[in-house]
Amino acid sequence: MTYKPVEKIERVLIIDDNDQNRLILKHMLHKWNIKTDEAADGVEALRMMQSRTDYDVAIVDYNMPGMNGLELIAEIRKQKLSVPGRQAIVMYTSSEDPDVVKGCQELKVNYRVEKPIKMKELHQVLSSVCEVADAPVQAAEKHEAPPLPTAPAEAAPAAKGPVILIAEDNTINMTLIRYMLQKLYPACILHEAGNGQEAIEMYPKCQPDIVLMDMQMPIMDGLNATRNIRKLEAELNRRSAIIALTANAMAGERENCLNAGMDEYLTKPLQQKVLVETINAFWQTAENQ
């Protein structure tokens, strides 16, 4: 079958954690001379959309670890990473899930395709995108929808949630950690600091059960922030679990963290299972004290 070229679409961002699915979409799009970039998860997609704004279409898989498709689209809207009237978002799902349909309606996502995708269906969607691009900007595209509330993926072991202070200077990493914690602990209370100095200033006010401390931050890094928090704790007569977060899994890094007063050491990208096991261990200990 011969397809008309979709000339108004030059570059598409494919967001899917499945390598084979990305490859299939890539081959289809290349047949129409459309350039593609690929992201394996929501965090990588946000980084790419922050660095360039020339994507005509983003094809977003719904079932992804960490941040699902609806959560990613909500964050794209929140950070204003899409250009109304020019960039389109296509939701890519395995089935016609009522929750996905409802979420797409609330987020004003007008295009959905089901797996396995066929060339004819993809071409129809892209042709529709081109037609809308030729028309005046629709009110639905102008509307910036609020983030969707998300149901927990795994419930915390009790109704009460921990108080957690997150010290992280990277906004995308902060977003991912926030989504993971809100899913795992719906009743948790989160406080966010953009650097070590902010974490020290916030600590006496929020008195968290757990601190997730990034190692590399401006103004003050995680090691120095931890040392200062331990001094504050002596005055407050309390102790929080401090968990290091680092992308540098270098020899001796764990020992440096523990020597500075940290209780545990996790490497990025964070694994949801490891994160919840670590938090549960320290939180349950704090609850039993």
- In whole angstroms, give the CA distance from residue 60 to residue 72: 8
Give residue-wise pLDDT tens across range 162-189: 999 999 998 888 888 888 888 888 899 9
* Structural domains of the chain ordered from first start: 11-142 (3.40.50.2300), 163-288 (3.40.50.2300)
Give residue-wise pLDDT tens across range 52-110: 888 999 999 999 887 899 999 998 888 888 765 567 899 988 877 788 888 888 888 88
Give residue-wise pLDDT tens across range 239-284: 999 999 988 767 678 888 989 999 998 988 788 888 888 999 888 6
Q: What is the pLDDT of residue 87?
A: 76
Contact 245, 274 (CB under 8 A): no
Strands 11-15 and 57-61: parallel
Task: Choose among 230, 232, 222: nearest CA to 168.
Answer: 222
The alpha-helical segments, DSSP class H, found in 32-155 are 42-51, 69-78, 98-106, 119-134, 139-142
